[in-house]
Chains A and B, each alone.
Chain A
Amino acid sequence: MPGLEIDGLRVSIGGRDVVRAVDLHIAPGSCAGLVGESGSGKSLLALASVGLLPRAARVTAGRIILGGDVTVTADLDRTAKVRGSGIAMIFQSPRTALNPLLRVGHQVGRVLRRNGQHADLTRRCAELLGAVGILEPGKVARLYPHELSGGMCQRVMIAMGIACEPQMLIADEPTTALDVTVQADILDLLDDIRSRTRMGMLLISHDMSVVAERCDSISVMWRGAIVEAGTSRTVIGSPRHPFTAELVRDVAHRPQPKDRPAQRSPAGPADGPPTEARG
């Protein structure tokens, strides 16, 4: 089956399972969403797919298959070879994910060179920066990350990600640190790239509304395991797992319109006593 297939993957750190028997499939050209709280293991799952697990973590079971080739199993890690042209990843904090000492054009060029493409670097880097919506790409290529806004840094990171036309792109909270209008622009850009190149995408977020808006399918992760998965419509419309329901409630909840100033008397909106459950 083409695309990215994660099959029964298990990752553990120090003997403790942090990713438990996860099954996930991303078809070429589609966008799959992975949603869960921090600590649910979603980032580790992503890192396992590109072979960037921290040293303390190990794949203990299952396999990852990209375009029909097995790339990751408990004993095998061929991901180094497929990184770049097979599967690419972009991260949350664009400014810290870029090397502060190198010009951004240079960093894009490095990706190309590392994947054996040495020809015509300056022009191709400028082209890539233009393709991600950066104005005056030739000029911007000569700037350092600290001279760019957060949104522009993220665009640079996307340029580095798509430089070698990967089959799959994993985006781990790509817009969490950005303003909401920039967030929408970046997600539009990713959608655009997907439709042009048939690249598949895994969009990871803690925000159900982001995932609901952009993804064809949603998998909900909780404490290392996938507790619910399905098309966006079914997962949002009729969540079966209580955690999914709560995630949906977190973003769909629309309170009573508060058009009147609160009265001094205790007869205020009936929110009830605060629950201790989630701190």
Chain B
Amino acid sequence: MRPLIEVRGLRKDYRRGGAVLHAVDGIDLALMPGEAVGVIGESGAGKSTLARLITRLERPTSGGVFYQDTDVTSLSDRALRRFRREVQPVFQDPLTALNPRWVVRRLITEPLKIYGERDAERRVDEVLRDVGLGKDLMTRHPRDLSGGERQRVAIARALVLRPSMLVLDEPTASVDMATKRTLLALLNRLQSEHGLTCLYISHDIRTIEETCSRTIVMYRGRLAEEGPTTAILSSPSHVYTQILMSSIPRIDSAETRPGRLRARPFSRQHLPDTGCLFAHSCPRVQPECATDPPVVEVTPGHRAACVLAGRASDHSGVTPS
């Protein structure tokens, strides 16, 4: 089976003041058809940039994006028309992601108009039912809807052209916790019903856990660890992932929590540019970390860019119940 979408050596640099920021710094990623993959990381990891690069809303500085073996890296917006139908983003905040002056009907119909689809009305009805929204919402503006409804409108709009893939950037960040569960259940159902390939980008491990079979951990633009979601959660190999997992508040941990692994405090002036980018803050830093870390295959399908991967004996991970 060939990957549906693939990125190789993807890099994106931004110029900030006099310095260059490597927002995405050499990412290789492949998604198989029907797969749900999560990208997790904290602010500055480069996750949102990766989302924009994969959906080709921005052009990478170097590296390639391949959709079904076609190189879409440098295509113009016009040449990307076919690609755009297939790969749809869902943004974090529907209040800014949807034109506030337009009503729901117009928002969902627009993609159909652009691609000259006939029978638009029937398709819109269909997709609204699919996401569980009533037709009475059609004449309202996004600001008059609840957070969950708004995000469903955004999802409906993304699905209306029957794409093969969704890229969801923090899809539950702007809703409260109860709605989050409902939305994720909806996304799971849509994914399995339509065989969608999904890339979930989030800082919230619970979102990824609920939806993704495979997870990638990003740190400062680079890949720290990649593997099955359960493995990342229960036996993280990269020290950064271990710290991340042990920092997640757990409801069952009050008595049983082991001592938390902590990052070392650091001053922002001295962030390393070469070698392991986490070295400045790593509690287990080794002399070898001054050079680029090897990518260690801990178990088949589970790899980590850390010299200590596979060696660590304690797992400060999270046990799925």
Measuring CB to CB, which residues of chain A are less than 8 angstroms from any residue of chain B?
A: 37-38, 133, 135-136, 149-150, 179-185, 187-188, 206-210, 212-214, 232-233, 236, 246-248, 250-255, 257-264, 266-269, 271-279
Contacts and interface: CB of A to CB of B under 8 A. Distances in A.
Q: 4 smallest A-B Cβ distances: which pairs?
A: A268-B192, A279-B148, A184-B247, A179-B42
B228 A266 contact: no
B254 A232 contact: yes
B149 A279 contact: yes
A253 B213 contact: no
B193 interface: yes
Contacts of B43: 150, 179
A232 B257 CA distance: 15
A274 B147 contact: no
Given A212-B251, A236-B251, A262 B36 contact: yes
Nearest to A267: B192
B167 to A, nearest CB: 16
Interface residues of B, number: 63
Contacts of A253: 181, 210
B228 A210 contact: no
A210 B320 contact: no
A268 B251 contact: no
Nearest to A216: B254
B192 A188 contact: no
A279 B182 contact: yes
B17 interface: no
Contacts of B33: 264
B249 A210 contact: yes
Interface stretch (B55-63, B108-116, B183-191): B183-191
A275 B182 contact: yes
Interface string B241-264: 001101111111110010010110
B34 A259 contact: no
Contact of B42 (A180, A214, A279): A180
Interface stretch (B66-74, B80-88, B120-128, B265-273): B265-273
Nearest to B185: A271
B176 A262 contact: no
A256 to B, nearest CB: 9
Interface string B110-153: 00000000000000000000011000000000000011110000
B177 interface: yes
Contacts of A273: 132, 189
A232 B254 CA distance: 9
B34 A261 contact: yes
A207 B177 contact: yes
11 contacts: A179-B43, A180-B204, A210-B249, A212-B249, A251-B177, A257-B320, A262-B192, A263-B192, A267-B192, A279-B147, A279-B148
